[in-house]
Amino acid sequence: MLPAGGALEQARKARDPRFDGRFFVGVRTTGIYCRPVCAVKMPRAENVTFFDSAAAATEAGYRPCLRCRPEASPGTPAWQGTSTTVRRALKLIDDGALDQGGIESLSDRLGVTSRHLNRLFRKHVGATPKTIAKTRRLQFAKRLIDETRLPMTEIAMSAGYGSIRRFNDHIKQTYDRSPTSLRQDRETTSPDSLTLRLPYRQPYDFDGILDFFAIRATPGVEAVDTGYTRTFLLDGEAGRIRVADNVGDLECTIEGGSSRSLMTILQKVRSMFDLNAIPDDINDVLLADSVLKKLVRKSPGLRLPGAFDPFEVAVRAIVGQQVSVKGATTVMGRVVELYGGESAFGRLFPTASRLAELRPKDLPMPEKRALAIRELARRVETGEVEFDHPDDDTFDESVLSIPGIGPWTAQYISMRARANPNAFLEGDLVIKKVAKRLFDTDREAEILHRADCWQPWRGYAGMHLWRYAATLNV
């Protein structure tokens, strides 16, 4: 529970969209919780309670508003205002850690007891890990009910419910209605494709992140025009997604794939397009730098490009060592041509098990780099390298131990494959050239020292420097 009054009360009264998804308003007289932008009649201040998450409101006994749909609000970064352990746990829960395993297995992965983890969650989030996971499933199911015509059985499986009965009971308990009554008798079908909306906070530079993906698109797998399209293989089923901007949210159209993969797909898209970012928080830090602020003001909606397939981006990072972006794209096309799979939706990027058999002589690149790709693939296949490992330092060490991978590659992988907002490539040649022009130094130690004041958003600062370099043709 958050303190009453102050900035939160002002944001509630103003229905300020900048705070949408950052806190929720519980109305004691109705037992309902809403987004701060909800258009219902304004409750009296003495009747409201503030929560920093939907799960916290649920834990306190409130049910979600059917009008403003809390499940449709923009996300909040998992690192926001929590301890390191809770931050790591939230990321794992978001990736579905509690859909298959229990709280004990999650605690083991984090190196703490389940009792201590529950205590940390209550302190920092206001809800238990179990409630967080249940709220996540419920919110996704509610979105599928509202935005698709999928049968209820498919929705239940897509949202991670173990049975249709458990799904029905949870919906009934939360909304006091059955799932079918929430849909209001709309026809149910299993369409060949479905489109879901993914909200974001303004400003959002969709064209900028699209440009980044366009020049790095893996031939045969990715394509960029007015939107982004790619093939995928998840849970043994191939498919294709297309992501386009619709002013205020992205529209993600999914063809093929398994219904069980829907939540994973949308989570990957959210990470790839950095939809949980809070521009005001990021820009407030970067604008404090007297030089960097000029770049930030030109691109206030800049986002950190993530990865749909972390392994694919890691391979790209190795391929891109000391070669042009165009040259790296050509090599990636060769990798797909030789080792990728076929599907009804187009070529698929090769799996780790396939690239673990890579023959260095097949690729137009130094043998050392080809061997690094093969070793990375082997370690990903055996679990020695885990992209979802909860500890950044441990992950970095596992990657850096691979011959042929140095600090630049490790930081690039951390920034994109792990969506680390603080990853910074101080040794990047382009960043060094820009730093020489802007900060009068190209020494890595001095650049890194300058970047101290950009934390925890150094990744965004690096993207601003890269974008500036593009205007100079550096």
Assign residue 304 a region: left if phi > 0, alpha if psi is -120 to 50, beta otherwise? beta
Whether 428 is a known active-site residue: answer yes
> How many angstroms separate the CA atoms of 410 and 394, rounded?
12
The beta strands (E) that lie in 101-246 are given as 193-199, 222-224, 228-234, 237-245
* Strand order across the 222-224 sheet: 193-199, 249-256, 237-245, 228-234, 222-224
> Nearest to residue 180, comparing CAs of 144, 153, 152?
152
> Nearest to residue 225, comparing CAs of 241, 211, 205?
211
User: Is residue 95 exposed (0-12), middle (13-18) or buried (19+ Cβ within 10 Å)?
Assistant: middle
> How many angstroms separate the CA atoms of 372 and 393, rounded?
20
Whether 252 is a known active-site residue: answer no
> How many angstroms separate the CA atoms of 40 and 353, rounded?
53
Spell out the alpha helix ranges (H) of 159-257: 164-175, 179-183, 206-214
Token duo for residue 269: 């898209």
Helix, strand or coil for residue 390? coil
| Residue tagged active-site, from 20, 34, 309, 396 | 34
> Nearest to residue 97, comparing CAs of 108, 111, 82?
108
Q: Contact, 33 vs 25, CB < 8 A?
A: yes
Token duo for residue 245: 């901007």
Q: Contact, 315 vs 373, CB < 8 A?
A: yes
| Residue tagged active-site, from 95, 185, 428, 442 | 428
* Strand order across the 48-51 sheet: 48-51, 24-27, 32-34, 63-64
Token duo for residue 324: 């042009």
Give the CA distances from residue 77 to residues 219, 420, 430, in Å, rounded to whole numbers and listed in that order. Answer: 31, 11, 29
> How many angstroms separate the CA atoms of 272 and 293, rounded?
25
Among all residues, which ones are annotated catalytic? Answer: 34, 428
